[in-house]
Each structure stands twice: as C-alpha cells, then as structure tokens.
Amino acid sequence: MGMGRNLSRRKTVLKCRRRERRKRGRIIPLETLMLKRITLTIFLFALIQTVFAQTSAGGNLPAGFKLPIQDIGGPLLHSIPIPDDPMIQHYINEYSRESGQKTMSAILQRGAPYLGFIYNSLLEAGMPAELMYLPAVESGFRAWALSRSGASGFWQFMMNSISPYDIVVNEWQDDRRDFWKATGAALSKLRFNYERTGSWPLAVAAYNCGLGRVERAVAAAGTTDYIELFNQGYIPRETRNYVPKFFAFAHIAGYAAIHEVSSAAVFNTASAQNSAGWEQIELNQAVNLVILASKAGIPVPLLHEANAELRHGITPPAVNGYFLKVPSGYSDNVRKVLENTEEPLMRFYIHEIQGGDTLYALSRHFGVSVSMIEMYNPAVDARALRSGQKIIIPALKETGPFRSDYNAPERWNFSLAYTIKAGDSLWSISRAFNTSVEEIAFNNGMRTDETLKVGLIIQVPREN
C-alpha cells in the first residue's frame, strides 16, 4: 500500500513538472499557432490597407509608423487593394505554371538593374510600390522594346504622349528609351491619372488605353469599377486583360519565393532602399560608349543598355549637353577617365574635300546624317564646299577613306541652261539629266530641299 501511494505521488509530480516545462518552453499546439497567425495576418492586412488609403488621400502616416517591407516572407500585404476580379486569379495561375515561372524570372532578371531605382522613385513620390512592376507588363523590361504602334522603351511611350515631359527625340537620342527620364515621366502620368480617377486600378487602366477614354467610360457608366466598365463595353479588351495581368505579376513578384520564381530574380526591398543605384554625370564632350566603357572598366552591354536612348552609341556634341547614366560603383572611374583630357573618348574621320564632294555623298559613305556632319563642322557651308577644306566626321562604323567618283570635266559639264516649269523638283530634274539632286544643288549654290520657282534658270549637265 505504501509503495502504491508513493508511486501515485511520483506520477502526479512528474505530470506537474511536464506541465511547467511546456509553459516555460512555449510548447503550443499547432492549431493554436495557425489561428494566431491567421488573426495577425488579417489584422496587418487591414492595417496596411487603412494606412495606404490614408496616405493616398493626402494624409500622413502615424508618428513612428513604418511601412512593412514587402518581400518573400510574411503576410501577403499590398499597398493597392486588389480588386475582387477572377481574371487576376487566372493570371496568377498562368504565371504559376512552369512556363510562367520561367517567363517571370527572365523578366525580373532583365529588370534587376533598374527595379531599385524605380522603387525608390515611387517611395519619394509617395506612390504604391507595386507600380514598379508595370514595365514588366508594358515591355518585359526590354530597353529597346518597340511596339507595332510605335511605343518605345520600358514604359512604352508613344510619340504623341511625350510633349508634357522632358523627353527628347532627335537623330542623336530617343529619350523614350532613357530609363531615368521615362520613369519620371511615367510616374507623373500615373499620379495624374490617379488624381483624376481616384482609383489606382483605373489609373493603371488609363495608362494603357488613355485617361480620356477612362473618364468618358466612368461618366457614361456611372461607376468606377473597371470590371463593370468592361462588362458594359466601355473599356477595350486589351485593357481588361492588362489590369489583372499587372496585379497578378505584382503579387507573385512581391512574394516570388512562395510561387517558386527563381531566387536570383527576387527583388529585395530592404536592399533596394540601401542600394547605391545609379548616378548621372554631365558631359562636356562627345563620348563613344565603347571607348569609355573599356577605359573605365564597365561592361559594354551594361553601359549601352543604361543609355539605350543613344541611337549610335555616342553622346551628342557637348553644345547640346547630355547626362550619362552609370552605376554608382563605377562613377569614380568614369569621372577620372573624363578628367583625363589626353585620352580621346571619341573617334573621328578627317576628310579633305575634293572637287565634286557633297555632304550627302560623304554621309552615305560614313553612315552618318548630313546634319550630324554639319553639327560637328559649324563653319562648313554645304552649298559652298572648297577643295582642300578639312572636315571631321563621327566614326560610327569602320570604313575606308572616301573617294569621289565624280569628275566634272569627264562626266558632266554643267553648262546647259534649264528653265524651271510647274511641277519640277530637283529630283525630277536629276532623273531627266542622269545626275543627282546633290550635284545639281552643288553646282547651282542651292540647298537640296530648296523650293523651285517657276521661271528660275539653273545649270544642268550637258553630257560629253
């Protein structure tokens, strides 16, 4: 009996000790843990939606409040409330397939050098971070992307939409491919869309199909629900797919590890906020990107893509002014190279004018435009080239010296008078007399684009 009582007492003591150890070791049942996590997620989700609704409406964050970092772990938080749209889930499923994962990984890897810049630009503008993935849907982060309708660059600007922004398009550059300028312009456009519509889904829709069309749709339908706008036929099918595709891409990219997107492509917001990023360096000379990259130790493809707006891989003449974009890690090297005036960063051909030479013929041979030659030779008059005169021509390609096949005494004798008639042009006259527009203009002291007046007498060649 005594032994039995002692054994029973020992068992009771052991149970109490186990209970105390479980409390000290925080051994909590799995069901309880899951319930607490779900409750916390719901609370945080509601909190973030409230905060962003407040800031989007122009309010301020509570004192000491910091936005949670969207990354590969933690609760699924979004700064733009995701619409209740089955099409979004459709595209999430598409991107979650093996082929979709490969596509997303490739896009994110192409965008990796620029996502930090776009992300920080959005933070400075007080705009939702998810918008940094809009170029993924627009262009797949291809710097030289050109759509069938003529839209160009990461953000796919059309020529008719660049006028409000600092975007230059000329024979030297197409700033629609300038990731720095185009990002600033795109964010301004998106912000304006949001201010007019009061809805980020509609702001994104307007970026695709135009703000005017969205505003007319809202006015006609009496609703700001883009799904309903489409169902009533006010929003085009392309935009109906565009908006859900963006939300699906942003959701998966924000939590790439969960969706098994390549870890190499995962964007880390914490590192982006602290990354060195990019710098702009103002140039006071023309620069060939290949020469500069080799001297500064920058990979040539990286420098070319960062300055994809340059049509020929050379910067405009210094009189135009140009800001070169370089990764911050290479900026000191670039500045040292630029400060060394003994190191040429541009190659030119030097050509001595011979009888019969024209800027047009030289431009065809050296692969440059006439205006480009004129820009580097401001003292040269194309209508009055002199034999022995020396000009410089940008070396955009490897080619041999120019040799004119023009020999006036042997081929042409511009001694025949011709009176201009209605409908005449230099082109039609050159065809009639088996010569060229440039030759007629050269021998008559005219411009190649000069308007001909009826009754004007010019000299044309008389064949020997």
Per-residue pLDDT tens digits for 60-76: 444 443 333 344 443 44
Q: Are 153 and 181 in contact (CB under 8 A)?
A: no
Q: Residue 73: inside a domain, yes or no?
A: no
Residues 144, 236 within the same domain:
yes
Q: How many CB atoms lie within 10 A of CB 186?
A: 23
Query: Is residue 18 in some structural domain?
Result: no
Residue 152 domain flag: yes
In terms of phi and psi (left: phi > 0; alpha: psi -120 to 50; beta: otherwise), the region of 367 is left
Check if the beta carbon of residue 244 is closer than 8 Å to that of residue 226.
Answer: no
pLDDT more than 90, % of the chain: 37
Task: Give the count of domains, the chain.
Answer: 4
Q: What is the pLDDT of residue 71?
A: 45
**249 and 289 belong to one structural domain:** no
Separation CA 180–CA 118 (nearest Å):
9
Domain's final residue, options 229, 245, 272: 272
Asked if residue 304 belongs to a domain, the reply is yes
Position 115 in a domain: yes
Q: The domain that contains 230 carries what CATH number?
A: 1.10.530.10
User: So what's the pLDDT on residue 114?
Assistant: 93
Task: Give the model's pLDDT for residue 125.
Answer: 94
State the Cα–Cα distance between residues 41 and 30, nearest whole angstrom: 16
Domain boundary among 257, 272, 287: 272
| One domain for residues 174 and 236 | yes
Q: Are residues 316 and 445 in the same domain?
A: no
Q: What is the pTM of this model?
A: 0.67
Tell me whether residue 331 is in a domain.
yes
- Which run of H or E residues covers position 235? none
Same domain, 204 and 150: yes
pLDDT, one tens digit per residue, over 225-238 is 888 898 888 989 99
- Which ranges of the chain have pLDDT less than 50? 1-7, 11, 13, 22-76, 263-265, 270, 273-274, 406-411, 464
Does 304 lie in the same domain as 186? no
What pLDDT does 456 receive?
Answer: 92
29: in domain:
no
Verify that 226 and 248 share a domain, yes or no.
Answer: yes
Residue 413 confidence (pLDDT) = 77
Residues 296, 165 share a domain: no
Of 138, 309, 438, 439, catalytic? 138
Predicted pLDDT at 366: 83
* Same domain as 93, residue 239: yes
Residues 266 and 155 grouped into a single domain? yes
pLDDT the model gives residue 146: 93
Same domain, 332 and 377: no
Contact 316, 295 (CB under 8 A): no
Residue (of 369, 374, 371, 376) closest to 385 by Cα position: 374
Cβ distance 228 to 221 under 8 Å? yes
- Give residue 449's pLDDT: 67
Which of 423, 302, 293, 439 minimizes the C-alpha distance to 360?
Answer: 439
Q: Is 138 in the active site?
A: yes
Token representation of residue 434: 């088996």
| Sheet strands (E) in 196-294 | 278-283
CATH number of the domain that residue 421 is part of: 3.10.350.10
Which SS3 state, helix, strand or coil, does residue 124 take? helix
- Domain boundary residue among 249, 272, 295? 272
Determine the structural domain holding residue 418 and report its residue range: 408-463
- Clarify whether residues 325 and 234 are in a common domain: no
| 463 sits in which H/E element | strand 457-463
173 assigned to some structural domain: yes
Tokens 């007498």, residue located: 457
Q: Distance between CA 418 and CA 362 in Å, rounded? A: 27
